[in-house]
Structure 1
Amino acid sequence: MNEQFTSTAVLKAKEGKRTALKEALLELINPTRSEPGCLYYILFEDKNHEGTFYMHEAFRDKAAFDFHIETVHFKNFAVQMDELMSEPIQLIELVKIL
């Protein structure tokens, strides 16, 4: 059985790049939500640490997530990461307990 793939990606903006990172992340939302394997894709910003974003995401399975990271819209975002982010994406994989 293929298990649902759920994760939270932590994305931290470089100094002065908060708005640009937020806009780049917003551009990912609609095309990602349209992917056949996407269950949800929700962007948050840390209320107490401006410029730290969390993308809470769930895909039908790991294959659907792997498809996501190979899409044109994700690759377009990926080429901007070094310019916009102070550190690499931290991907926290989650397992639903209840």
Structure 2
Amino acid sequence: MIVITGTAKIADENRAAFKPVAERQVTLSRAEPGNVSYSYYEDQMAPGRFFFYEEWKDRAAVDFHFTQAYCLEFIEAARKLAETPPEISIREVMVKEG
């Protein structure tokens, strides 16, 4: 399994515009066949700081995901609305559960 995490610091004036873009990304990503889970959160101690957590079946699912038009649109929108460049990490789960 592959785990992707990301963070974005969105300017106060862009928060209202960012939320529907992020919700669309989550909804469409969850519909992909290789998606295990996908959620996003806003830090209650630092409003405007968003955290994304995704789980994917394998690297092929991740590669497919990153070619989808809506995903590329989300990345571009996040870059435009963020105060600093968004950060992303891709990790492979090394020990399986159970």
TM superposition score normalised by structure 1: 0.84
**Aligned match of 1:39 in 36, 40, 45?**
36
Q: Distance in 1 between matches of 2:49 and 2:59?
A: 25
Structure 1 segments of 4 or more deviating over 2 A?
A: 92-98
TM superposition score normalised by structure 2: 0.84
> What fraction of aligned residue pairs are identical, expressed as a percent?
26
Unaligned residue ranges in structure 1 (runs of 5+): none
The letter of the residue matching 2:7 is V
Residue 22 of structure 1: how far off its partner (Å) = 1.5
Residue 21 of structure 1: how far off its partner (Å) = 1.3
Q: Aligned to 2:85, what secondary structure does the other structure show?
A: coil
Q: Distance in 2 between matches of 1:96 and 1:56?
A: 17
More helix by share: 2
Aligned residues: 95
**TM-align CA RMSD:** 1.8
**2:57 corresponds to 1:52:** no
Unaligned residue ranges in structure 2 (runs of 5+): none
